[in-house]
């Protein structure tokens, strides 16, 4: 099941939470802005960020909506919206985030 806060999602910037049935907390959040995304899988009280795919220079940053606050993340952790979509689809199929690329714990 995917839960998206419709009030926070628009064409320019948004945030979605991905929950498994019966879970009290989201296992993944996805923040998007104009075709750029950042994915946050959670496991064992840790948050992971994907290594960027080059869509944004590692020395630059993008602002993302994360629930009710804006957060600036450098290109080190930005990916294109397709990679974020693939991560959600894989999560829903039960594939571990570890199998989707390199992640940095935060």
Q: What's the rounded Cα separation, in Å, for the pair 93 and 5?
A: 22
- Measured CA angle at 14 (ends 12, 18), to 5 deg: 150
pLDDT of amino acid 51: 86
pLDDT over threshold 80, residue 11: no
Structure tokens at 73: 């993340």
pLDDT over threshold 50, residue 10: no
CA 34 to chain centre: 14
Helices (H) and strands (E) in the chain, counts: 1, 9
Question: Is the pTM of the predicted complex or chain greater than 0.85?
Answer: no
pLDDT of amino acid 56: 92
User: Greater confidence, 34 or 97?
Assistant: 34
pLDDT over threshold 60, residue 47: yes
For the chain, how many residues are written? 106
pLDDT of amino acid 67: 65
Q: What's the rounded Cα separation, in Å, for the pair 31 and 64?
A: 6
pLDDT of amino acid 46: 81
pLDDT over threshold 80, residue 24: no
Average pLDDT of span 64-72: 78
Q: What's the rounded Cα separation, in Å, for the pair 26 and 67?
A: 12
């Amino acid at each position: 099941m995917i839960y998206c806060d419709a009030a926070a999602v628009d064409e320019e910037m948004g945030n979605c939470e991905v929950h498994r049935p019966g879970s009290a907390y989201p296992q993944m959040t996805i923040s998007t802005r104009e075709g750029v995304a950042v994915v946050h899988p959670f496991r064992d009280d840790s948050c992971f960020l994907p290594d960027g795919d080059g869509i944004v220079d590692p020395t630059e940053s993008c602002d993302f909506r994360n629930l009710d606050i804006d957060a600036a993340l450098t290109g080190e952790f930005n990916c294109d919206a397709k990679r974020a979509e693939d991560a959600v689809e894989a999560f829903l199929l039960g594939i571990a985030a570890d199998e989707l690329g390199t992640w940095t714990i935060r």
